[in-house]
Amino acid sequence: MENNKERRNIPYSEESYPPMPTKAILFWRRCIIWQAWRWLVLNIKILRIVAGGHS
């Protein structure tokens, strides 16, 4: 237990960096069709919130 605490405090150690994205994650981040779909879904959600506040 004590050894684990000491290792976390070392700057620039491997645990200090975020994990590398997988090939699948990189594909979905670059896919224009997926981004357009998520943009549309997000805007519909925002419209529902705004329209609900004006009734």
Whether 21 contacts 29, CB under 8 Å:
yes
* pLDDT at position 1: 52
First-to-last alpha carbon distance for the chain, in angstroms, is 57
Domain of 55? 21-55
Inside any domain, residue 9: no
Inside any domain, residue 12: no
0.75 cut: is pTM over it?
Answer: no
Residue 39 CA to its chain's centroid (Å): 15
Whether 28 contacts 34, CB under 8 Å:
yes
pLDDT tens track for 1-33: 556 555 556 777 777 788 899 999 999 999 999
* pLDDT at position 20: 92
Inside any domain, residue 2: no
* pLDDT at position 32: 98
Inside any domain, residue 40: yes
Inside any domain, residue 36: yes
